[in-house]
């Protein structure tokens, strides 16, 4: 399986990673190199084998649904590392409406 | 003797017998830190109040001793960067369960150690803050991703250290730096507050000078945690109770992979394992599944989980924006995204999770016959600096031998089994056991360490 740089740009958009033209070329080559190794998996006899997502076999480990004050951030703590805040809120980029169009 | 060269056990004993003062231990640690840290690039940050905190912890199990902690554990008061520019200067508002318990038990976070950025690698060369050098030979890499923690031990720049492993990230740097590294069963140690990498395999654990030290340190932080839903609810055992035990009658299978990259290392290991026979264990060669498939499984599963876990870094609530990711992280996030997209998920992600099942089944079969399996931790000695940039698959090829057990969640431990006089570099053996059977690997690794000449602290 090989990957071209048009595909790389599509993936970059999905992953929200800014990628330059030059980088997309390099990444296409790197992905192709990696997928060669991954493609060997097809040689494993996995046909109808079940899928494993979790190795412990535990199911639904839950704790009691109680609010623990000491485990919750204060508003001040929650905002402590934010680059930009406004009246106690995070400032986020436009998503629903872009102000430029 | 310089006090920074003491093991954790020796330090505790010397303090209890009042042969040394905690200040003297810190003095010697500080000295080697000041002399070597700039060149070796082991610590990214250190706690200026460490000694003050140590004096207040003198009666606790770890006696206020200085512990090096990988920079992907959230620590209040010390920056936590995962060696990435995205988190440069990030000050956590909360403490990881591992470091919280470490502190409650009197361990002091001396400093935070360098790693591959986001733990994506096996060299510590992909750190956005520069590579760490191997203290045993500075022309070589320390391995990774917990390379800073392994180097802190090898350089005697801490008494013990903590790292985390997804596939080899504790054991491989331990092998390259000639130290002990224990990866507990997945779910034995809480992942709460550890910068997430691959959530279905991430396992925090100790990097230490001896097997005994690994048990003492693991005792301080293993066990159930309601903040990690994948954590085992069962109380963790006292790991030190497995030390000094007879290995008579233990059945040990040597996984001899007939792969050209491993040939010489395999032969050296086989020779060294003779001591286990002399101690009464049964040792024989077994054939396991081809390790090359594990590379594929790990590559797909790890990148898929990375693409999801690293989606949270948006630069809004904390950290810098996504343009600050380094090349390796970009590659991993994007490849993970690719393998999860419609049309590719079956071909890659689901296939990898099926082959993962095949490994679990293979181990189940092998462990019907054997108590323990062993193989070299890494195909060969520590590679030269710069080596990780030669291939986009460097990490996976390096970790080929540990990936199968990692994706299966098994516990494993690295102990040195060979030392090359000319280069001063080490080879490490990786003992693995079934889920939750840390007792078996501790027993055999402890016996091997005490009856061979390869541990540099036990054989000064």
DSSP string, B173-209: HHHHHT-EEEEPPTTSS--TTBPPS-TTT-EEEEEES
Please tell me the predicted confidence (pLDDT) of residue B152.
98
For B208-247, b/e burial (b = at least 16 CB within 10 A) is bbbbbbbbbbbbbbbbbbbebebbbeeebbebbebbeeeb
DSSP-assigned beta bridge partners for residue B419 = B426
- Contact between B63 and B22 (Cβ < 8 Å): yes
For A68-91, b/e burial (b = at least 16 CB within 10 A) is eeeeeeeeeebbbebeeeeeeeee
- Provide the 8-state DSSP code for B264: H
Find chain B residues with C-beta within 8 A of A34's C-beta. 299, 331, 335, 392-393
Whichever domain contains A24, its CATH number is 1.10.20
Mutate which of B92, B195, B354 to disrupt the A interface (most A C-beta within 10 Å)?
B354
- State how far residue A101 is from chain B, nearest Cα, in angstroms: 23
Please tell me the predicted confidence (pLDDT) of residue A1.
66
Please tell me the predicted confidence (pLDDT) of residue B96.
98
| Per-residue pLDDT reduced to its tens digit, B309-323 | 999 999 999 999 999
pLDDT band at B153 (very low <50, low <70, confident <90, very high): very high
Chain B within 8 Å of A98 (Cβ-Cβ)?
no
**Is A51 among the domain residues?**
no
Chain B within 8 Å of A13 (Cβ-Cβ)?
no
Please tell me the predicted confidence (pLDDT) of residue B451.
98
**CB-CB under 8 Å, A8 with B300:** no
**CB-CB under 8 Å, A38 with B299:** yes
Percent residues over pLDDT 90 in chain A: 51
Residue with tokens 């200067």: B89
| Per-residue pLDDT reduced to its tens digit, B236-279 | 999 999 999 999 999 999 998 777 778 899 999 999 999 999 99
ipTM metric: 0.91
φ, ψ of residue B283 to 5 degrees: the values are -125, 125
Give the count of alpha carbons within 13 A of B321, CB side only: 8
**Is A22 among the domain residues?**
yes
**Is A66 among the domain residues?**
no
Please tell me the predicted confidence (pLDDT) of residue A83.
92
Please tell me the predicted confidence (pLDDT) of residue A99.
60
| Per-residue pLDDT reduced to its tens digit, B81-106 | 999 999 998 999 999 999 999 999 99
| Per-residue pLDDT reduced to its tens digit, A42-65 | 888 888 899 998 999 898 888 888
| Separation CA B151–CA B153 (nearest Å) | 5
Across B280-300, average pLDDT: 92
**Is A48 among the domain residues?**
no
| Separation CA B388–CA B393 (nearest Å) | 9
Please tell me the predicted confidence (pLDDT) of residue B256.
85
Task: Give the domain extent around A17.
Answer: 5-43
Residue B274 burial class via C-beta count within 10 angstroms: exposed 0-12, middle 13-18, buried 19 and up: exposed
**Is A98 among the domain residues?**
no
Please tell me the predicted confidence (pLDDT) of residue B460.
86
More confident residue, A40 or B224: B224
Give the A window 14-73 contacts with B, CB below 8 Å: 14-19, 23, 27, 30-31, 33-34, 37-46, 49-56, 58, 61-63, 71, 73
- Contact between B46 and B88 (Cβ < 8 Å): no
pTM of the model: 0.96
With residue B432 as reference, give the H or E element that holds it. strand B425-432
Instruction: Work out how many domains chain A is built from and give that number.
Output: 1
Give the domains, in start order, of chain B with CATH numbers: 3-451 (3.90.1300.10)
Model confidence at B395: pLDDT above 80:
no
| Per-residue pLDDT reduced to its tens digit, B413-459 | 999 999 999 999 999 999 999 999 999 999 999 999 999 999 999 99
**CB-CB under 8 Å, B230 with A61:** yes
Please tell me the predicted confidence (pLDDT) of residue B241.
98
Q: Who among B186, B357, B393 is closest to A56 (CB)?
A: B186
Across B100-114, average pLDDT: 98
Please tell me the predicted confidence (pLDDT) of residue B16.
98
Which tokens hold the place of B172?
């491989």
Select from A61, A29, A46, A72 the least CA-distant residue to B356. A46
In this structure, how many other beta carbons lie within 10 angstroms of the beta carbon of residue B39?
A: 10
**CB-CB under 8 Å, A38 with B392:** no
**CB-CB under 8 Å, B318 with A81:** yes
| Per-residue pLDDT reduced to its tens digit, B156-176 | 999 999 999 999 999 999 999
**Is A82 among the domain residues?**
no
Percent residues over pLDDT 90 in chain B: 90
In sign, the C-alpha dihedral spanning B180, B329, B39, B12 is negative
- Contact between B221 and B232 (Cβ < 8 Å): no
Model confidence at B305: pLDDT above 90:
yes
**Is A50 among the domain residues?**
no
pLDDT band at A100 (very low <50, low <70, confident <90, very high): low
Region of residue B352 (phi > 0: left; psi between -120 and 50: alpha; otherwise: beta): alpha
Model confidence at A101: pLDDT above 60:
no
Residue with tokens 């690293």: B310
Across B227-233, average pLDDT: 93
Per the prediction, chain B carries an average pLDDT of: 95
How many contacts does A have with B, using Cβ atoms within 8 A?
149
Across B334-356, average pLDDT: 92
Find chain B residues with C-beta within 8 A of A72's C-beta. none
Instruction: Tell me how long chain A is.
Output: 101
**Is A29 among the domain residues?**
yes
- Contact between B117 and B70 (Cβ < 8 Å): no
Tell me the three state secondary structure of residue B361: helix
Please tell me the predicted confidence (pLDDT) of residue A98.
61
What residues contact B312, with CB distance under 8 A and at least 6 apart? none
**CB-CB under 8 Å, B200 with A55:** yes
């Amino acid at each position: 399986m090989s990957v071209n740089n048009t595909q790389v740009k599509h993936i970059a958009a999905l992953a929200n990673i800014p990628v330059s033209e030059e980088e997309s070329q390099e990444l296409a080559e790197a992905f192709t190199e990696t997928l060669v190794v991954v493609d060997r998996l097809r040689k494993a006899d996995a046909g109808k084998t079940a899928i494993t997502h979790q190795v412990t076999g535990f199911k639904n480990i839950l704790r009691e649904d109680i609010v623990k004050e000491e485990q919750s951030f204060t508003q001040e703590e929650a905002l402590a590392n934010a680059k930009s805040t406004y009246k106690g809120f995070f400032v986020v980029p436009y998503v629903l409406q872009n102000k430029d169009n | 003797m310089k006090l920074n060269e003491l093991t954790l056990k020796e330090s505790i004993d010397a303090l209890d017998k009042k042969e040394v003062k905690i200040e003297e231990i810190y003095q010697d640690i500080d000295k080697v830190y000041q002399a070597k840290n700039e060149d070796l690039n082991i610590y990214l940050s250190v706690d200026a109040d460490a000694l003050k905190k140590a004096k207040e912890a003198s009666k606790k199990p770890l006696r206020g001793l200085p512990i090096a902690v990988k920079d992907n554990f959230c620590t209040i008061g010390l920056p936590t960067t995962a060696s990435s520019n995205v988190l440069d200067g990030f000050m956590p508002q909360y403490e990881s369960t591992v470091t919280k318990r470490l502190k409650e038990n009197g361990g002091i976070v001396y400093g935070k150690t360098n790693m591959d950025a986001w733990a994506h690698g096996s060299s510590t060369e992909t750190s956005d803050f520069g590579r760490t050098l191997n203290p045993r030979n500075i022309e070589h890499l320390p391995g990774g991703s917990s390379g800073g923690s392994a180097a802190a031990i090898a350089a005697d720049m801490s008494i013990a250290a903590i790292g985390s492993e997804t596939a080899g990230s504790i054991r491989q740097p331990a092998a390259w730096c000639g130290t002990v590294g224990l990866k507990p069963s997945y779910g034995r140690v809480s992942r709460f507050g550890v910068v997430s990498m691959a959530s279905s395999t991430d396992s925090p654990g100790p990097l230490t000078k001896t097997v005994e030290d690994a048990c003492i340190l693991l005792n301080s932080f293993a066990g159930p945690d309601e903040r990690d839903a994948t954590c085992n609810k069962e109380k963790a055992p006292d790991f030190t109770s497995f030390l000094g035990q007879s290995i008579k009658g233990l059945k040990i299978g040597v996984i001899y992979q007939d792969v050209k990259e491993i040939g010489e290392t395999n032969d050296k290991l086989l020779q060294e394992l003779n001591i286990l026979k002399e101690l009464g264990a049964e040792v024989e060669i077994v054939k396991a599944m081809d390790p090359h498939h594990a590379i594929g499984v790990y590559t797909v599963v790890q990148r898929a989980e990375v693409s999801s876990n690293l989606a949270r870094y948006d630069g809004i609530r904390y950290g810098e924006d996504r343009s600050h990711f380094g090349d390796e992280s970009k590659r991993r996030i994007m490849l993970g995204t690719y393998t999860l997209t419609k049309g590719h998920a079956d071909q890659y992600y689901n296939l990898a999770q099926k082959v993962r099942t095949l490994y679990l089944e293979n181990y189940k079969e092998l462990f019907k016959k054997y108590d323990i399996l062993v193989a070299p931790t890494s195909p060969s000695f520590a590679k030269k600096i710069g080596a990780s940039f030669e291939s986009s698959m460097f990490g996976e090829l390096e970790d080929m031998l540990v990936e199968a057990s990692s994706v299966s969640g098994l516990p494993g431990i690295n102990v040195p089994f060979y030392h090359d006089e000319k280069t001063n570099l080490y080879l490490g053996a990786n003992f693995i056991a079934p889920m939750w059977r840390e007792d078996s690997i501790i027993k055999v690794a402890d016996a091997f360490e005490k009856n061979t000449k390869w541990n540099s602290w036990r054989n000064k």
